[in-house]
């Protein structure tokens, strides 16, 4: 019997939510599993959280067997997924768990997400304080970094400026330039992009069916609906998504340090 199987057996027998410490005590009392770990309670907690619905972090298992039904500060309690004892809406998620019970991998992942959010805010501030012409070059660089244009020489062209006709950049998808992606870049601090902005962009897309509209702010609902109902293929990228893509594709950022996480390779310890 594995640890996870022992945990499930305890939950089935007891029939009520339990903390990881209570589950461990029941496993020992029923002699369901013989632990060799230095901190067996922590091992039970680790297995619970890695197989828990609503807790998603890099080392979490895709197989979800358990549900959190506890509250912050009172010790998270767990029950089996699909049990009739767990009411609808009982899944509390990671935010309901006390810091003490969270795994090091979860804490590291949360710290990473917080760091990423901070960098996105700093990127947005930097973009808003830069020259408008620089922003137009930035969005072309980003699309090229994402792989648009492929290996086509001089695939990206910044066309913004006076008389640009509503097009700030062009990505050539083939060497002859028969396939094109038009780009519009709006550097707004607060003002959302409305439907008229999208209509002008579409009006400038003569004989071109693909377009990307990028802004540092957000899009009005009317603008989103207009794009959804338009025959041309247009992608909207707001400020949040823009900075997310810049970090992912390493545009305007550099890597200071990388941290690796590990898991035990069980196959290594199995004799052939």
The reported pLDDT for the residue numbered 195 is 94
CA distance 267 to 272: 10
Structure tokens, 223: 């603008």
* Number of other CB atoms surrounding residue 72 within 10 Å: 12
The reported pLDDT for the residue numbered 96 is 46
The three-state (H, E, C) secondary structure of 21-64, written as one string = HHHHHHHHHCCCCCCCCCCHHHHHHHHHHHCEECCCCCCCCCCC
- With 0-12 / 13-18 / 19 or more C-beta atoms within 10 angstroms meaning exposed / middle / buried, residue 1 is exposed
The reported pLDDT for the residue numbered 74 is 54
Q: Which residue reads 């899944």 in tokens?
A: 91
Contact 15, 85 (CB under 8 A): yes
The reported pLDDT for the residue numbered 146 is 93
The reported pLDDT for the residue numbered 84 is 59
pLDDT less than 50: residues of the chain: 72-73, 88-96, 162
The reported pLDDT for the residue numbered 60 is 86
Provide CB contacts within 8 A for 171, sequence distance 6+: 140, 143, 144, 148, 149, 155, 156, 157, 180, 181, 183
The reported pLDDT for the residue numbered 165 is 61
195-203 helix and 221-228 helix, angle to the nearest 10 degrees: 40
The reported pLDDT for the residue numbered 71 is 56
**pTM for this entry:** 0.69
DSSP state of 6: H
Q: Which residues pair with 180 in a beta bridge?
A: 172
233-237 vs 210-215, strand pairing mode: parallel
CA distance 220 to 232: 19
CA distance 154 to 14: 67
């Amino acid at each position: 019997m594995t640890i996870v199987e022992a945990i499930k057996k305890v939950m089935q027998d007891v029939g009520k939510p339990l903390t990881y410490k209570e589950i461990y005590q029941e496993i020992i009392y029923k002699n369901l599993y013989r632990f060799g770990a230095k901190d067996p309670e922590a091992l039970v907690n680790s297995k619970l959280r890695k197989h828990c619905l609503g807790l998603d972090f890099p080392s979490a298992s895709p197989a979800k067997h358990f549900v959190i039904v506890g509250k912050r500060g009172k010790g998270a309690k767990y029950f089996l997924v699909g049990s009739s004892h767990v009411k609808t809406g009982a899944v509390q998620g990671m935010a309901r768990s006390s810091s003490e019970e969270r795994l090091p991998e979860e804490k590291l992942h949360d710290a990473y997400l917080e760091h990423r959010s901070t960098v996105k805010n700093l990127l947005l501030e930097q973009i808003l304080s830069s020259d408008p012409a620089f922003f137009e070059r930035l969005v072309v660089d980003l699309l090229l970094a994402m792989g648009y244009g492929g290996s086509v020489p001089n695939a990206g062209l910044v066309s913004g400026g006076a008389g640009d006709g509503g097009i700030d950049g062009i990505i050539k998808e083939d060497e002859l330039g028969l396939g094109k992606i038009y780009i519009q870049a709006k550097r707004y601090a607060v003002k959302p992009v409305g439907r008229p902005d999208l209509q002008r962009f579409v009006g400038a897309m003569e004989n071109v069916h693909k377009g990307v509209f990028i802004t540092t702010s957000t899009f009005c609902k009317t603008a989103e609906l207009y794009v959804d109902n338009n025959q041309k293929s247009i992608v909207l990228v707001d400020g949040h998504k823009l900075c997310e893509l810049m970090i992912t594709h390493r545009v305007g950022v550099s890597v200071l340090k990388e941290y690796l996480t590990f898991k035990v390779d069980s196959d290594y310890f199995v004799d052939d």
